[in-house]
Structure formats: C-alpha cells, structure tokens
Amino acid sequence: MTDALEDWLRPTPAGLWCEPGGFHIDPQRAVERALITHGHADHARPGHGAVLATPETLAIMALRYPGDRPAGQPLRYGETVQAGGVSVRLAPAGHVLGSAQAVLEYRGRRVVVSGDYKRTPDPTCAAFEPVPCDVFITEATFGLPVFRLPDDGEETVRLLRSVETFPDRCHVVGVYSLGKCQRMLSLLQRAGYDRPVWLHPALDEMTALYRDFGVELGETRPLGGAGGLAGEIVLQPPGPEQRTDRFAEPVRVFASGWMQIRAHARRRGVELPLAVSDHADWTALTATIADTGAPEIRVTHGAPEALVRWARGRGLDARPLEPPAGSGG
C-alpha cells in the first residue's frame, strides 16, 4: 500500500504524530505544535509552542494552566484549516464543553481521531456528530461489553430518592471538575431538583467558565467552610482529598462509569455509586464504529482488546493503536 496510514499519522512516544501537518494530537509531552481534542489533563498538557483547539478548550486550558502561554489558534466546529497539505476540521465529540473529534484529510483519505466522546445527549456540550471516514481512531475507556450504562436521568433519580430517604444526611457527590460537575448540575436541574447545589471551591471556576459559554446549570452556592448541610447535595472533587467528616452523616456518592462495577465502587468506599459517564459505553462504541462506516479501526485509550476483537468479528481491519515496538519511553 502506497498511502498506508502509518506513512502520515502514527503513534510516537510523544503522542499521535501527523508528519505532513507537523503537529501532534493530544501529546503526552510538550511539543512544538499540538492539536488538543479537549481540556482534560491527560489530553491537554501545558508547555506546547502552539495549540490548535476549539475556543472552549483554549479557554479551559488557559484557566487550568494560568502560567502557560502557547500560541492559541481557535478553530470552531466545522471550520477547516490547512497544515502542510493536511486539511484539519473539528467535529463535536459530546464529551465535555469544547470537546472535539479531529477530522484529518490527506491525499484523499479521511481519518477521524475521536478523542474522548459520548453519544448520550448532554446539554452542557455540543452533541457528538458521526463523521464518515476511512480510518476511525476511537477511544475505548469502557471497551468491554459489561459497560452498558444506565439512563443518566434514572441515575439522577436514584440520587434524589436517596436524599428523600435520608433527609437528615448530607449527600456528597464526587465529581471531576471539568465535565462531570457541570453534567451533574444539569442532570439535577432536568430532574426537577430546585434547591441550590453546594459547590466545593475547586469546582467554582470551571463551572463559571461553562456559564460564560452560555451553559445553563441551575442555582449553585459556594461551599466555603460550610458543614452539616443535612438534606443538601454537595459536589466535591473525588480522590483521597475528598474529606466528608464535616458534613452531617455524609452519604458518599460518586458519579463515574466505573461505578457500574461493584468492586470499583467498593474500593472507593462509596455508599451510593452512580454510573454516569462522559465516555461512550460499549453500546455507543460499537454503534459509532458502525456509524462512521470506516473499514479501518484503531483503538486507543483504555481496553482495546475486546473492541478490536468485536470489530474484527465484523470484518473490519481493527488494531490497537500502539507506538512502534522498541520505540522507548
């Protein structure tokens, strides 16, 4: 094959490298020119010379890395730029605010790099748009058939029912600051929860940024040093720093796709696991592969094995996207 994918787009230790375009996609280390699909720290790192991303993602990076001053080049969904013969377009990925798929065309072949994505409707970001292509490079965070996530509205009702059952306890929901926090706010609002939601200080700025971009999130209240809060809902970042002792008989809640697996919820010491995710579940991953119509599939981020097997079973040329052997660290 004269125009194999690997001739112009291939994984390297720094990240996915587009040679004719002269840029990396979501590089793991600082590079000269980077295309960033979305603002999560494992995709958007500081220190790049120039960054091509949606205006929302550039704003998120500026908020996260205040000292970092890359040359930012905003590219709205649907707009196209040329880079060394490669045409580059961003399509909505439905993951978090500003998240995009990178649509690259070079010598008549179209490659779509999904970045992280989900298909579940989410008013806090633009909805995923399937793009027909020749090669689809998909994430596979939940690339196992046991991940078929429940309806997010029903998960929210579970939380609200718990608040009703335990009016004398404070529900402390662990959420990531970019995406999950605002998604939960939006879900609570849609479920008809009309009380203010208490926000940990670490979630304030990102939530304000969402609102600046016109996302409607309902009423929030800064947590500050407040404690007790029986009958209230508090959003707080997850992790070992998630102290709950100051709240009234806290119910520890965690909103994540991993919560679908009980062993994960147990390890987290969670009392109410909510399987709400900003990633595509197995159903969405397989449906999206079909939607793109791509005969070639590359799988990255997460558990590629099962998805590769599934795609091959459907006659597709599917492989894990791996850096070349012996390429070092």
Site string for another protein, 279-308 (x = CB under 8 A): ------------------------x-xx--
Looking at 146, 208, 287, 290, which residue binds another protein (CB under 8 A)? 146
Looking at 2, 69, 239, 263, which residue binds another protein (CB under 8 A)? 263
Pairwise CA distance, residues 64 & 68, whole Å = 9
Looking at 103, 272, 280, 311, which residue binds another protein (CB under 8 A)? 272
Tell the smallest beta-carbon distance from residue 259 to another protein (Å). Answer: 10
Residues 6+ apart with CB under 8 A from 241: none
Pairwise CA distance, residues 175 & 248, whole Å = 19
**Residue 65 in contact with another protein, rule: CB under 8 A:** no
**Residue 315 in contact with another protein, rule: CB under 8 A:** no
Residue given tokens 């120039």 in the structure block: 50
Looking at 67, 262, 315, 325, which residue binds another protein (CB under 8 A)? 262
**Residue 271 in contact with another protein, rule: CB under 8 A:** yes
Residues 6+ apart with CB under 8 A from 215: 97, 123, 124, 125, 182, 186
Quickly count helices (H) and strands (E) in the chain.
7, 19
Q: Find the helix packing angle between 180-190 and 201-212, rounded to 10°.
A: 70
Using DSSP bridges, classify how beta strands 80-83 and 86-92 pair: parallel, antiparallel or unpaired: antiparallel
- Give the binding range for another protein (CB under 8 A) out of 102-110, 143-151, 181-189, 316-324: 143-151
Looking at 148, 190, 211, 243, which residue binds another protein (CB under 8 A)? 148
Residue given tokens 């999206």 in the structure block: 288
Looking at 266, 287, 295, 324, which residue binds another protein (CB under 8 A)? 266
**Residue 265 in contact with another protein, rule: CB under 8 A:** yes
- Terminal Cα-to-Cα distance of the chain (whole angstroms): 29
**Residue 62 in contact with another protein, rule: CB under 8 A:** no
Using CB under 8 A, list all residues that contact another protein: 144-148, 150, 158, 162, 165-166, 260-263, 265-266, 270-273, 303, 305-306, 309-310, 313
